[in-house]
Amino acid sequence: MKKFNITGTCFPNKHYMVDLTGRVAQIKAMVDDGAYFCINRGRQFGKTTTLHALTVGLASDYEVYAISFEGLDNASYETERHLAYAIMRQFEFAALMRGNNVSRQVQEIVSEAVKANKAEKQIGLDDFSMFIFQMCMTAQKPLVLIIDEVDQASNYDSFIRMLGLLRKKYLIRDQMPTFQSVILAGVYDIKNLKLKIRPEAEHQYNSPWNIAANFDVEMAFNVSDVEGMLRDYENDHHTGMDIHSIAKDIIDYTSGYPFLVSRICMILDEKKLPWDREGFLQAERLLLSEKNTLFDDFTKKLDDFPELYQMLYALLYQGKRIYYNVSERWILRRCLVI
């Protein structure tokens, strides 16, 4: 029997989940256009689940290397040479994963490259660039690179240099084959990653990822999305719920934040609450009173960023007006004096 899931990747055959087909089609259209882009959303917003669905959706037309920076140790970021080798190792692992549809010829190139550099555990960027060229020349289909958890690299200059290499190859892609598309996923955008590294005196916005296309795919759920998920649940459990009414209540309360949507449904299911307005309100109260990973992370952010705490306090408890200026880097500090 399927379950609602709030931890890790959701799988259609195991979990009650929103149908991601439309979103995957929109993202695939960007890949078809050869776009390089970032998927930046809040924590537990369904990024990894979407990337998994995308990897499967791309496999018929592309060879996909879906890797993650989660779990890489500090030594992997020591220099760009170490990071290049770490990425090659990730390629080797990704080739073994089901759904990536990686050709045997490319797997052999990756394995040989890893073996040749295993002793030193590093590879120069020029050699790494040639390695990418060989992969793309040998592949039976265009190659797509997906990197999840890029925030793990946020404090390392080696990652910025790696982005510079990918950008350089992108700019000469008509002369030398490279990845069809590169997709980076994380909480922060690449400009913010750069801000953590660059000294204040340097130009802050000359990001090596200024080639990135805008990512405008809506990842928050809507009423129709939740109705589809609840319909799947109702077919199994026959609760007699008013699917549209419950879906609307959930969206009105959560604004479609994927974790909150799934968590409320999970509470309703596990606590065996009635799938009606009264049951929904009970689930809402239970959600507000519990400790969970999303709330804990939000609390940590308030501790990490005192200016954010002060701004939200002024907005929510003191009724102050907060004016947003998209061109102002230090918007939080500016808001505090209003």
Q: Is the pLDDT of residue 196 over 60?
A: no
Cα dihedral 312, 313, 315, 317, rounded to 10, equals 140
Percent of the chain surpassing pLDDT 90: 64
pLDDT of residue 194: 55
pLDDT of residue 325: 64
Instruction: Note the pLDDT tens digit of each residue in 39-78.
Output: 988 888 989 999 999 999 999 999 999 999 988 999 999 9
Instruction: Note the pLDDT tens digit of each residue in 89-103.
Output: 999 988 877 556 788
List C-alpha distances in Å: 50 to 14, 90, 238, 250, 289.
Answer: 15, 20, 29, 21, 29
pLDDT of residue 291: 86
- Each as own residue / partner, the long-range contacts of residues 48-53 (CB below 8 Å, 24 or more positions apart, any chain) are 48/8, 48/9, 48/148, 48/185, 49/9, 49/10, 49/17, 49/20, 50/20, 50/23, 50/24, 50/219, 51/146, 51/148, 51/183, 51/185, 52/9, 52/11, 52/99, 53/20, 53/23, 53/24
Letter for the amino acid at 260? L
What sign results for the dihedral spanned by CA atoms 18, 22, 24, 27? negative
In terms of pTM, does the model score above 0.75? yes
**CB atoms closer than 10 angstroms to residue 164:** 15
Q: Under a CB-based contact definition with an 8 Å cutoff, are residues 200 and 230 in contact?
A: no
- State mean pLDDT over 310-318: 84
Bridge partners of residue 185, in order along the sequence:
39
